[in-house]
């Protein structure tokens, strides 16, 4: 029984640590722009053109709204 109480306290403390860490990161970076790794920048750079083309097709070419 004491072991389960100890585990519950450890999990609560870990959760509090995680929340405090997120809170500190939000204060240190108010714009919400967290630094990205080189791999994340590379993936975003490779995916962005495809997303732009897909959005252009959906909103410009396939626009079904009637313009009166």
Domain ranges in the chain? 2-61
The structure's pTM equals 0.42
> How many H helices and E strands in the chain?
2, 0
Helix, strand, coil: what percent of the chain each, to 5? 75, 0, 25
Q: What is the pLDDT of residues 13-56, one digit of tens each?
A: 999 999 999 888 888 876 766 677 788 888 888 999 999 998 88
Structure token digits, residue 17: 């640590």
Helix (H) or strand (E) holding 43: helix 38-56
């Amino acid at each position: 029984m004491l072991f389960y109480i100890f585990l519950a306290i450890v999990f609560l403390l870990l959760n509090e640590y995680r929340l405090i860490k997120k809170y500190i990161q939000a204060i240190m970076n108010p714009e919400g722009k967290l630094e990205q790794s080189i791999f994340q920048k590379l993936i975003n750079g490779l995916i962005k053109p495809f997303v732009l083309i897909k959005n252009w097709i959906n909103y410009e070419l396939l626009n079904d709204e009637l313009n009166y």
